[in-house]
Chains A and B, each alone.
Chain A
Amino acid sequence: MHELSIALSMIEMATEEAVRRGGVQVKAIHLKLGPLSGVVKEALLFSYEVACEDTPLKGSQLVIEEVPVLIYCIACRAEAILPSIQRFCCPACGTPATEVLQGRELEVVALEIEELEIEKLEIQA
């Protein structure tokens, strides 16, 4: 169970990015997650909510896009999606798959942000 420390890293990263952009509010973190990342989606979602407490990201959403394992089959000379990580074989021809092109992702791809300060000033004016 290392999802909590992963969640804390993401929050730290998003907070830094928000400061860098001049104190914007982060509404959501969009994450790409591969089955070979060693991270469990449900555990990460749970940890994220807990870890956000007492941070500027409290109430923000974690949006996870799960990506499949993509292999390159040397026999078919083509890419293929692996139906199960318990079987690293080309789904078309059965050749053992040694080249993994995708599936280890644990990557923050985007942040949903809101420019807080400007909005407040506009409302006051």
Chain B
Amino acid sequence: MSTQQQPRLVEVRQNVLKQNDLLARNLRERFREAGVFVVSLVSSPGAGKTALLERMLTQLRQEECAVAALVGDLATEADAARLARSLAPVRQITTGTVCHLEAAMVERALEGWNLDGLDLLFIENVGNLVCPSSYDLGENLRMVLLSVTEGEDKPLKYPTIFNTADVAVITKTDLSAAVEFDAAAAHANIQLVRPGMRVFEVSAKTGEGVDELLRLLCSRSAESVKAVSG
């Protein structure tokens, strides 16, 4: 008779990112209670997240919208300094070697921050088109950026991040002609990986297209506030 015991299989059924998802759910509830609409920005490094954000913060402040931003970066605080020029409250999240933001980092960055007076909060993720797709940050809307200099096929190369986003923004359109950007192909590729997604074309440099994007954010923000109070 053998005393050797066979390993046995026990069912567990646990999402590996459960901890992050729970924190994200708490954050989303906190944002809802405070009446703040939260938009995250994801893109590859250098697609123009900070430039677009600087432009959006400045314009929204001029329209007397209460805005703020959290900005994730591996090492520097340069982005927060750039965004602070808009005079909106900005906090930097320095992730060290971590290539993405997690809900816990957002929670820590928000410590002691009164969200009640805010209309819109932006969260700029670390420049990366892979890892951020796995992590819910509690945001209401995820915006994926694609710059014209990156090429039209980016959505096909990184389908997951495009599929998990709610809105796509094509940036640096002032450079379209110089790089012979094929806008129709870019739109088609986005629709292939995320059918029905709204796509905006903007230039943070000239401001072209930014108004239209802000109109969407403001109307979505107003809808969510109405949903809470109604």
Q: Which of B11, B100, B195 has the most CB of A within 10 A?
A: B195
- Which of A's residues lie within 8 Å of B, judged by CB? 1-2, 5-6, 9-10, 13, 17, 21, 27-28, 30-31, 35-39, 85-89, 96-98, 100, 106-115, 118-119, 122-123
A38-B161 contact given A1-B131, A30-B9, A85-B193, CB 8 Å threshold:
yes
* Assembled-state Cα–Cα distance A21/B195 (Å): 46
Residues on the A chain within 8 Å of B5, using CB: 114-115, 118-119
A85 to chain B, nearest CB (A): 5
| B224 contacts chain A at the CB level, 8 A cutoff | no
Residues A37 and B195 in contact, CB atoms below 8 Å apart: no
Residues on the A chain within 8 Å of B159, using CB: 85-86
B204 to chain A, nearest CB (A): 27
Residues on the A chain within 8 Å of B7, using CB: 27-28, 112-114
Residues B13 and A109 in contact, CB atoms below 8 Å apart: yes
**Chain B residue nearest in CB terms to A39:** B134
Q: Which of B99, B133, B134, B191 has the most CB of A within 10 A?
A: B134
| B219 contacts chain A at the CB level, 8 A cutoff | no
Residues on the B chain within 8 Å of A21, using CB: 10
Residues on the B chain within 8 Å of A38, using CB: 130-134, 160-161, 164
Residues on the A chain within 8 Å of B8, using CB: 112-114
**B 129-178 contacts with A by CB, 8 A:** 130-134, 156, 159-161, 163-164
* Assembled-state Cα–Cα distance A27/B191 (Å): 44
**Chain A residue nearest in CB terms to B155:** A86
Main SS at interface, chain A: mixed
Residues B11 and A109 in contact, CB atoms below 8 Å apart: yes
A122-B3 contact given A36-B164, A107-B16, CB 8 Å threshold:
yes
- Which of B's residues lie within 8 Å of A, judged by CB? 3, 5, 7-17, 19, 98-100, 130-134, 156, 159-161, 163-164, 191-196
A51 to chain B, nearest CB (A): 13
Residues B16 and A10 in contact, CB atoms below 8 Å apart: yes
Residues A109 and B131 in contact, CB atoms below 8 Å apart: no
Residues on the A chain within 8 Å of B132, using CB: 38
* Assembled-state Cα–Cα distance A113/B196 (Å): 46
Pull 5 A–B residue pairs with CB atoms less than 8 Å apart, ordered by A. A2-B99, A9-B16, A13-B12, A13-B16, A106-B15
Residues B195 and A96 in contact, CB atoms below 8 Å apart: yes
* Assembled-state Cα–Cα distance A114/B9 (Å): 9
Residues B16 and A98 in contact, CB atoms below 8 Å apart: no
A104 to chain B, nearest CB (A): 8
Residues B9 and A110 in contact, CB atoms below 8 Å apart: yes
A2-B134 contact given A111-B12, A123-B3, CB 8 Å threshold:
yes
* Assembled-state Cα–Cα distance A10/B161 (Å): 23
Taking a contact as CB atoms closer than 8 A, the residue among B10, B16, B192, B194 that contacts A110 in the complex is B10
A2-B100 contact given A37-B134, A38-B134, CB 8 Å threshold:
yes
Residues on the A chain within 8 Å of B3, using CB: 119, 122-123
**Chain A residue nearest in CB terms to B6:** A114
* Assembled-state Cα–Cα distance A109/B12 (Å): 5
